[in-house]
Homo-oligomer: A and B are copies of this chain.
Amino acid sequence: MLVKSPETITNLSDCNLSQFPPAVLGMIAEFFKVLSETSRLQILCSLKSGTKNVSEIIEITGLGQANVSKHLKMLSQSGIVERTQQGVQVYYTISNPLIFTICDLVCNSLATNLQQQEEQFKSLQSLQNYF
């Protein structure tokens, strides 16, 4: 056999974080790592409104060409964006819009944290009035 099958994880779709084998945890970590960079998030943002070619992405984000190319490769390899070549131009598109759902959830989580911090701050402030 010339081509090897991708390692299939049984029932990955209905998953439960508490009993993940290390290999799956590694995959999840890898996925998060791709999203843990401001530049890559910027690129994803620029793609939210639709497919763009590399030059457009460079212009929107203001990042360097080689830099963008490297990030796009990473995003592409992790399956977050898809690559299509049309002549000299190469177009990239979000392959799984679930990304944005995930980001929105993170936002909510962050918002909750900020709110809690603000409340703690207020109660701390009212304490200060006694001194």
Q: Which residues of A contact B (CB under 8 A)?
A: 2-3, 5-6, 8-9, 12-13, 15, 17-20, 22, 24-33, 35-38, 40-42, 44-45, 48-49, 79, 96, 98-114, 116-118, 121, 124-125, 128
Residues in B with CB closer than 8 Å to A41 are 17, 20, 25, 28-29
Q: Is B20 a contact of A110 with CB atoms below 8 Å?
A: no
The 10 A-B residue pairs with the shortest CB-CB distance, nearest first, are A33-B36, A32-B36, A15-B107, A18-B48, A13-B111, A79-B113, A12-B111, A32-B35, A6-B117, A29-B38
How many angstroms between the C-alpha atoms of A26 and B9 in the bound complex?
32
Pick from B48, B103, B128: contact of A3, CB under 8 Å: B128
Q: Is B17 a contact of A38 with CB atoms below 8 Å?
A: no
Q: Is A110 a contact of B5 with CB atoms below 8 Å?
A: no
Which single residue of chain B is at the shortest CB-CB distance from A49?
Answer: B18
Q: Is A98 a contact of B104 with CB atoms below 8 Å?
A: no
How many angstroms between the C-alpha atoms of A37 and B5 in the bound complex?
26
Q: Is A100 a contact of B17 with CB atoms below 8 Å?
A: yes
Q: Is B6 a contact of A26 with CB atoms below 8 Å?
A: no
